[in-house]
Structure 1
Amino acid sequence: MTGPVVVGLDGSPASETAAWWAAREASDRHLPLVLLHSWTTQPLDVPIAQEAHNKQRYGREILERASAELLHRHGDLDLTTELVSAPAADALLERGESASMLVLGSRGHGSVASFLLGTISLHVLGLTPCPAVAVRAGDPAVEAGWGHPAAADRDEVVVGVQEPGA
């Protein structure tokens, strides 16, 4: 696998934790890291151009903040950012065609507390052609660092699914 590790960022705590995890994985594997943020706007026929500008500015701020922190933690990281207008799931699946791995937060900004995974994560994990990981917000192994005692005492659930006949 030589493609980048691609992480979706939406500004939620889960996506920030996923970015930390992805940076460590990219660094360990000597792969580039791509931070991806998708902004969406009202249809073009709706006169809310300022809202689109604000969403783009918010996306740039998320990417800049995450880039600065990750480069501070992993100075040798080959990191790029992408601010895209395509829907997040579409953009992630497209990048999954050439990525070594997709990394997603386990939950986004959605308000439905009963979902285990956010709708974008669930959609992407079900369709991506490359390995994908959903990282929980506040994961102590990510926040405390690998090898930290908090990581050793956790129960883990890992699920692998392969399409029948693949």
Structure 2
Amino acid sequence: MTPTMDQRCPCGSQLTLDKCCGRHHHGEPAPTPEALMRSRYAAFVLGLNDYLLATWHPTTRPVELAPDPETEWKSLSIVGAKPPLDNTGYVHFNACFYGRGRAQKGWHVLAEVSRFVKEQQRWWYIDGTPTLTRLKPRRNDPCLCGSGRKLKVCCGE
């Protein structure tokens, strides 16, 4: 996906991409663990794997991160973000997605408590404790993308 800076940010902030996560994608350090987590979610949505690797702490970063065209990220909700303590921060979030592959076909929610550390005047993603739950929304349920429309007329087409 090629992002345009005047589109709404995928992180759900209601701001445009250039005023929200796009500025972090272009080099401005994220000021908090929550801002970094939101920008990383937006990077997953937009397929910005270089940004994901660049914000991953070198001690836990994978060598490469393959694109995942089978996953369509739909929405992000922050469950809780603890104020950083001793240069360590935690963010608990839920991210809904639709999987198009055989192994994960259908709707899911990824819940994770992510751990971040501040070093060299910037926040880094260290790791997280994820859980994956399969969802079974009905056609008349609200869409999982957060649009407020029914699933059947939004992402469930």
What is the TM-score of this pair, normalised by structure 2?
0.27
Higher normalized helix content (fraction of residues): 1
Higher normalized strand content (fraction of residues): 2
